[in-house]
């Protein structure tokens, strides 16, 4: 008997459903998009138990005709496409015709719907593994879809769902993305009886974002509306320095379809590369309107991704759109690669060197020679001390080093008998703080700083809940976090090591990193990651000048740590360059040096 067999229809349905329905948020996404396709201007989402127990999505859209209700739960049933040509110009969200059938394959589903022209509505009830039933019911125009007990009879799928809290946050993010991109549509999310999102229809972008992300972000919004040929970029961006510590607030859509696109993110971030600190990301909600024949939306089962025929051209227009919105209409395009920049700089430097060393008929003063040397050649160490009698020696790492100076306000240079030691001040201090905080945690002696005026941070509802949900863990390392009403949180104490540079901006960056981490690991592992993040944000920064005493204290503290050669993220904290290596590099040692010596002294 052969090994290849045709799968049963039931099994095929489950496999197909697995492509579309990954978790409760997948169902919410599909049902919201069906509501939008039906012309609804108000969508209500209600969930219980993270959507695993119950999901209900109700709208005031066009509804489903009675005759269509009989087949709407069958696979490949759809009102969106009818011919092959329709696939090339899909203007709706739900093009696959798989959503309702896929949901019915993995859960119990109830649909109540009525169209404007029909006097009564239709009730469709489908229980897992049974044929659906149909009856008449009364309701206003629109559709309500209720889904219960997701994956109840599919243990292999259900065990891979996260807990109710995490699944709720995923659903909240789905609703928030649609609400941010479509301010003309009203959205309401009710979780376990509590209203989480309440955005009425026909809001301005500013009012919508204020309700979703807080007033601070809303105040920084700049409208974007820019078109080239058949491509239009429309939406908003936030004015720096308002930003986030991750990409969680970079919202993109293509023809109003929320998508994730790495190239669009990179294009947007390149515009902000000189205005946002490293590790900070812009905030936006941008929609790309484009000729539908140049977009393939049928490349991902859950439609999170689309394929644009000329994505590079779209990214170029996106950058121009954002720059234009900031009034930078005549700025040159960004250099496309670091190699181009370096190449141009080196070429200019080489030209300057040749010109500056070319013999001249007129004498050149010492000052003129200095001025003629390229900028790279003029770079000097910042003087470390004005006191001639101050000792520059420091005893560390089993030897005595001489402090030469600090370059770029980032690297500390130390001389020793065999060469040069370069210390990254941020990585070094991060290691010191990490081990100090770990020791204080283990000893139960964490020193905290009481703030005279607590910091109040405005977050989204989802982010505020996530931070408040781990307040006990944060308390263990010195942060006292509490609700300040609405979506605001209050931070009233900090670990003492952080207090030195505490600011609202720095704390917001820290909160972003904590949110980015997410508690998906054991408590101890998660806490260690929080300690690392705290150490990183508390450490001496790049660009911070240090005097001799500060350098000496940092180096002495570093030499006492257990893992002095790396920061707590594994990056090297120091680099040793031997004098012999320097000599070889400049030709003072090696075969070439010996040859020159012999030639100079007439030796064979």
- Structure token pair of residue 308: 């644009």
Of 536, 503, 278, 548, the closest CA to residue 429 belongs to 536
Runs of H (alpha helix) within 184-337: 205-213, 215-219, 262-271, 311-325
- Structure token pair of residue 386: 């004005």
In this model, does residue 53 exceed pLDDT 50?
yes
CA dihedral 213, 219, 225, 231 (to 10 degrees): -30
3-class SS at 474? helix
CA dihedral 504, 212, 268, 300 (to 10 degrees): 140
**Residue 239 DSSP one-character state:** P
In this model, does residue 349 exceed pLDDT 70?
no
In this model, does residue 359 exceed pLDDT 70?
no
Higher-pLDDT residue of 587 and 546 is 546
Higher-pLDDT residue of 215 and 147 is 147
In this model, does residue 299 exceed pLDDT 60?
no
Of 164, 121, 127, 175, the closest CA to residue 144 belongs to 121
Rounded Cα distance, 516 and 344, in Å? 38
In this model, does residue 126 exceed pLDDT 70?
yes
Give the pLDDT band of residue 563 (cuts 50, 70, 90). Answer: confident
Q: Residues 57-61: what's their mean pLDDT?
A: 95
Helix-then-strand count for the chain, H and E: 22, 23
End-to-end CA distance of the chain: 86
Higher-pLDDT residue of 585 and 251 is 251
* Cβ neighbours of residue 486 closer than 8 Å, sequence gap 6 or more: none
In this model, does residue 65 exceed pLDDT 80?
yes
Whether the CB-CB separation of 126 and 31 falls below 8 Å is answered with: no
Residue 534 φ/ψ, nearest 5 degrees:
-65, -45
Q: Where do we find the tokens 């234009």?
A: 324
In angstroms, what CA-CA distances link 569 with 231, 280, 301, 428?
Answer: 43, 18, 37, 11
3-class SS at 461? helix
Rounded Cα distance, 552 and 367, in Å? 35
Rg, Å, the chain Cα set: 31
CA angle 138, 142, 146 (to 5 degrees): 80
β-strands 284-289, 250-254 pairing? parallel
Q: Residues 521-536: what's their mean pLDDT?
A: 80
In this model, does residue 237 exceed pLDDT 90?
yes
Higher-pLDDT residue of 506 and 373 is 506
* Cβ neighbours of residue 430 closer than 8 Å, sequence gap 6 or more: 535, 536, 539, 567, 568, 569, 573
Q: Residues 165-185: what's their mean pLDDT?
A: 92
Whether the CB-CB separation of 27 and 21 falls below 8 Å is answered with: yes
In this model, does residue 533 exceed pLDDT 80?
yes
Rounded Cα distance, 357 and 591, in Å? 28
Give the pLDDT band of residue 333 (cuts 50, 70, 90). Answer: very low
Runs of H (alpha helix) within 234-332: 262-271, 311-325
Runs of H (alpha helix) within 396-503: 425-443, 461-469, 471-476, 496-499
Which of the residue ranges 61-70, 293-302, 362-371, 584-593 has the most confident prediction, judged by mean pLDDT? 61-70
In this model, does residue 41 exceed pLDDT 90?
yes
Give the pLDDT band of residue 107 (cuts 50, 70, 90). Answer: confident
Q: Residues 269-280: what's their mean pLDDT?
A: 81
Higher-pLDDT residue of 397 and 53 is 53
Lowest mean pLDDT among 23-32, 250-259, 340-349: 340-349
Q: Residues 72-78: what's their mean pLDDT?
A: 66
Higher-pLDDT residue of 274 and 54 is 54
In this model, does residue 145 exceed pLDDT 70?
yes
* Cβ neighbours of residue 197 closer than 8 Å, sequence gap 6 or more: 172, 175, 176, 179, 187, 188, 189, 211, 212, 461
In this model, does residue 44 exceed pLDDT 90?
yes
Whether the CB-CB separation of 69 and 118 falls below 8 Å is answered with: no
Residues 401-459 have pLDDT tens digits of 888 888 888 899 988 888 888 999 999 999 998 898 888 888 888 888 888 888 888 88
**What share of the chain has pLDDT > 90, as a percent?**
25
In this model, does residue 372 exceed pLDDT 70?
no
Rounded Cα distance, 359 and 470, in Å? 71
In this model, does residue 391 exceed pLDDT 80?
no
Position 84 scores a pLDDT of 47
Q: Where are the beta strands (DSSP E) in 192-332?
A: 194-199, 221-228, 231-238, 250-254, 257-259, 284-289, 295-296, 307-308
- Sorted by where each starts, the structural domains of the chain and their CATH numbers stand as 9-199 (3.30.565.10), 205-325 (3.30.230.10), 428-537 (3.30.1370.100)
Rounded Cα distance, 599 and 512, in Å? 64
Position 416 scores a pLDDT of 84
Of 227, 248, 226, 247, the closest CA to residue 327 belongs to 226
Rounded Cα distance, 16 and 10, in Å? 10
Rounded Cα distance, 180 and 206, in Å? 10
In this model, does residue 195 exceed pLDDT 70?
yes
Rounded Cα distance, 437 and 447, in Å? 9
Helix (H) or strand (E) holding 574, with range, is strand 574-578
Omega before residue 241 within 30° of 0, cis: yes
Give the pLDDT band of residue 105 (cuts 50, 70, 90). Answer: confident
Buried b (16+ CB within 10 A) or exposed e, 537-558: bbbbeeeeebebeebbebbebb
Whether the CB-CB separation of 94 and 80 falls below 8 Å is answered with: yes
Helix (H) or strand (E) holding 393, with range, is strand 393-396
If you count them, how many residues does the chain have?
604
- Structure token pair of residue 339: 């190699």
Cα 274 to chain centroid distance, Å, stands at 18
Lowest mean pLDDT among 2-16, 372-386, 436-450, 461-475: 372-386
Give the pLDDT band of residue 112 (cuts 50, 70, 90). Answer: very high
Higher-pLDDT residue of 570 and 377 is 570
* Cβ neighbours of residue 412 closer than 8 Å, sequence gap 6 or more: 403, 405, 406, 422, 423, 425, 428, 546, 551, 554, 555
Rounded Cα distance, 425 and 557, in Å? 12
The mean pLDDT value of the chain amounts to 78
In this model, does residue 242 exceed pLDDT 80?
yes
* Cβ neighbours of residue 505 closer than 8 Å, sequence gap 6 or more: 241
Full 3-state SS string of 106-155 = HCEEEEEEECCCCCCEEEEEECCCCCCEEEEECCCCEEEEEEECCCCCCH
């Amino acid at each position: 008997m052969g090994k290849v067999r045709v799968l049963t229809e039931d099994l095929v349905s489950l496999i197909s459903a697995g492509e579309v329905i990954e978790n409760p948020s997948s169902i919410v996404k599909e049902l919201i998009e069906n509501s939008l396709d039906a012309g609804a201007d108000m969508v209500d989402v209600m969930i219980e138990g993270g959507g695993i127990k119950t999901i209900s999505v109700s709208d005031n859209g066009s509804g489903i005709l009675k005759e269509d209700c009989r087949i709407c739960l069958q696979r490949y049933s759809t009102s969106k496409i009818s011919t092959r040509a329709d696939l090339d110009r899909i203007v709706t969200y739900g093009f696959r015709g798989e959503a309702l059938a896929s949901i019915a394959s993995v859960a119990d589903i109830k649909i109540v719907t009525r169209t404007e022209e029909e006097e009564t509505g239709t009730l469709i009830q489908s229980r897992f593994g049974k044929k659906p039933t149909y009856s008449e019911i009364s309701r206003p125009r629109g559709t309500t879809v209720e889904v219960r007990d997701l994956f109840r009879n599919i243990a292999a799928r259900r065990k891979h769902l996260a807990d109710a809290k995490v699944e709720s946050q995923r659903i909240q993010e789905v609703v928030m993305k649609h609400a941010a991109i479509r301010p003309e549509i009203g959205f309401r999310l009710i979780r376990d009886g509590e209203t989480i999102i309440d955005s009425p229809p026909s809001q301005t972008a500013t009012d919508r974002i204020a309700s979703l992300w807080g007033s601070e972000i809303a105040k920084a919004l700049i409208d974007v509306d820019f078109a080239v040929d058949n491509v239009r970029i429309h939406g908003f961006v936030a004015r720096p320095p308002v930003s986030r510590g991750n990409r969680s607030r970079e919202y993109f859509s293509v023809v109003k379809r929320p998508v994730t696109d790495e190239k669009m993110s990179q294009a947007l971030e390149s515009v902000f590369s000189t205005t946002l600190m490293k590790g900070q990301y812009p905030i936006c909600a941008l929609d790309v309107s484009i000729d539908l024949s140049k977009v393939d939306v049928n490349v991902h089962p859950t439609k999170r991704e689309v394929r644009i025929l000329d994505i590079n051209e779209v990214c170029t227009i996106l950058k121009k759109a954002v720059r234009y919105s900031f009034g930078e209409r005549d700025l040159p395009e960004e250099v496309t690669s670091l190699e181009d920049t370096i190449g141009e700089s080196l070429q200019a430097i080489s030209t300057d060197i040749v010109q500056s060393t070319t013999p001249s008929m007129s004498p050149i003063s010492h000052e003129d020679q200095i001025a003629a040397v390229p900028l790279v050649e003029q770079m000097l160490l910042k003087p470390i001390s004005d006191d001639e009698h101050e000792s520059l020696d420091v005893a560390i790492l089993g030897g005595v080093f001489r402090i030469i100076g600090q370059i770029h306000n980032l690297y500390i240079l130390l001389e020793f008998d065999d060469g040069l030691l370069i210390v990254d001040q941020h990585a070094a201090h991060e290691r010191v703080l990490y081990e100090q905080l770990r020791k204080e945690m283990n000893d139960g002696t964490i020193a905290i700083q009481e703030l005279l005026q607590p910091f109040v941070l405005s977050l989204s509802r989802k982010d505020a809940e996530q931070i408040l949900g781990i307040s006990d863990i944060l308390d263990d390392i010195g942060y006292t976090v509490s609700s300040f009403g609405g979506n605001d949180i209050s931070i009233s104490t900090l670990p003492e090591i952080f207090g030195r540079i505490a600011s609202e901006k720095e704390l917001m960056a820290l909160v972003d990193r904590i949110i980015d981490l997410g508690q998906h690991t054991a408590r101890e592992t998660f806490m260690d990651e929080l300690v690392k993040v705290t150490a990183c944000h508390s450490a001496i920064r790049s660009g911070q000048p240090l005097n001799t005493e500060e350098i000496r204290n940092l180096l002495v503290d570093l030499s006492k740590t257990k893992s002095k050669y790396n920061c707590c993220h594994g990056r090297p904290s120091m680099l040793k360059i031997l004098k012999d290596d320097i000599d070889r590099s400049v030709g003072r040692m090696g075969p070439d040096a010996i040859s020159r010596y012999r030639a100079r002294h007439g030796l064979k």
